[in-house]
Amino acid sequence: MINQYRFLSGRLCLVCLVTAVLTGCSGLGVKPWDRDLLAQPEMQIGSDGLRIAVDEHIYFSKEATSGGRGFGGGGCGCN
């Protein structure tokens, strides 16, 4: 009886886990009508646009990273 109970609760846990894994990230993402919030100044990574641009350029061309934060090149410094 106890074994059967364990077996059932184990299966229930498995079902819950699988459901959670399959659906866990399905509700993420910004809705098109919510993008105004992302565009607010307080939602930006940095406060100074010029500084971000310079940092980005260094990442992208000098640091041998694969395109810096975006994906623009191989870090050879040639582009």
CB of 38 to other proteins, least distance (A): 10
CA–CA separation, 36 vs 38, rounded Å?
A: 5
- Give whole-number Cα distances, 46 to 14, 21, 22, 42, 50, in Å: 43, 33, 34, 9, 10
Which residue number, 5 or 33, has a Cβ lying nearer to other proteins?
33
- Give whole-number Cα distances, 12 to 3, 19, 22, in Å: 14, 11, 15
CB of 32 to other proteins, least distance (A): 5
Subset of residues 15 to 54 that bind other proteins, contact rule: CB under 8 A: 19, 22-23, 26, 31-37, 39
CB of 16 to other proteins, least distance (A): 14
CA–CA separation, 73 vs 64, rounded Å?
A: 9
- Residues touching other proteins, count (CB under 8 A): 12
Which residues here bind other proteins, judged by CB under 8 A? 19, 22-23, 26, 31-37, 39
